[in-house]
Structure 1
């Protein structure tokens, strides 16, 4: 059995995009669970990898994305989950964390065979990332209380699809196993 990594999807965000008003309440609700998940992963020595949209800013890097988000009106949603010095960071331009990014290579270099996905948006980026992880033969865990949605009904359907069609372990931050990909209790 290999190792696990926590993947934080699109949480470095200034929320200036379409549907942000629909997303913000869900982000506020799941933020404490994401913070607990980050604390658990860091305490257990699980690698934390942020994979974040570049929002079309092709000249920026992760530090600039973080600075922009922290300078915006929703900095309170970013500060608690900001990357630490040990965190890794991958920039993406589309929904999946794997689409034309070096993430697969990075996971291979780290010996990762299990990914724990948290962040946003459940029915978009999290769903597509879970599918791409599954087709790469990675074990997938999604703590349902640590993923934010735009549309609750679509998020519920997405979680069911991840569990049924991709064999993803779905549970809560407090019930999932981090280090070994065990099923929630």
Structure 2
């Protein structure tokens, strides 16, 4: 059982997609707080670190393939600081929610965390849908706004408001997540 689970969602990205130009400046803003949170999570026994990343339609890709592609993409500077530690759990996903067609729900049921911290990208898409799926499964959600990146600032603000209001998510800075 874990007190806390930190999910790192879709951060292994090549930044070669149509929204990359809009997304990457916002990813730049979260790299430092996110890498600090990952480092802190990795050093604690009461925290499980889980990376969940889109396979981008490549069903032959293993997790290591996703890491290599991201490191060889257009923005390795956004990937290098958050490369998954060897000893963390990793899984691929096929759609927006980290729960959709993955073993995440089963794993979290086994770990029985007191809270699930959602980090990564994109706030108004994958983070929002993952938060909803966590909420309907009765997992308490925490979202550090300085550790999630967005494409559209207005939609991001609306998504954070929805997570807080409709899903009882705690919205707290990354530095305060693992106090």
Bin for the TM-score computed over the shorter chain: over 0.9
SS in 2 for 1:44: coil
Does the CA contact (< 8 Å) of 2:33 and 2:174 recur in 1? Answer: yes
Note if contact 2:99-2:133 (Cα within 8 Å) is conserved in structure 1.
yes
Deviation at 1:8, TM superposition (A): 0.1
1:73-152 map, 5 Å: 73-152=74-153
Determine if contact 1:3/1:114 at 8 Å carries over to the other structure: yes
Contact 2:55-2:94 at 8 Å conserved across structures: yes
Question: TM (normalized to structure 1)?
Answer: 0.92
Report the counterpart of residue 29 of structure 2 in structure 1: 29
What are the ranges of 5 or more consecutive residues in structure 1 without an aligned counterpart? 180-185
Cα shift at 1:133: 0.2
After TM superposition, which residue ranges in structure 1, 4 or more long, deviate above 2 angstroms?
109-113
Q: Deviations over 1:145-183 (max 9, x none)?
A: 00000001110110010000000000101223x37xxxx
Residue 49 of structure 1: CA displacement? 0.3
Aligned positions of 1:6-45 closer than 5 A: 6-45=6-45
* Paired position in structure 2 for 1:183: none
Following TM superposition, by how much is the alpha carbon of 1:30 offset from its aligned partner in structure 2, in angstroms? 0.6
Cα-Cα RMSD: 1.4
CA contact (8 A) 1:30 1:148 kept: yes
Return the alpha-carbon distance in structure 1 between the equivalents of residues 57 and 136 of structure 2.
Answer: 27
**TM-score normalised per structure 2:** 0.95
Secondary structure at the aligned position of 1:141 is classed as strand
Structure 2's unaligned 5+ residue stretches are: none
The answer on whether the counterparts of 2:2 and 2:111 sit within 8 Å (CA) in structure 1 is no
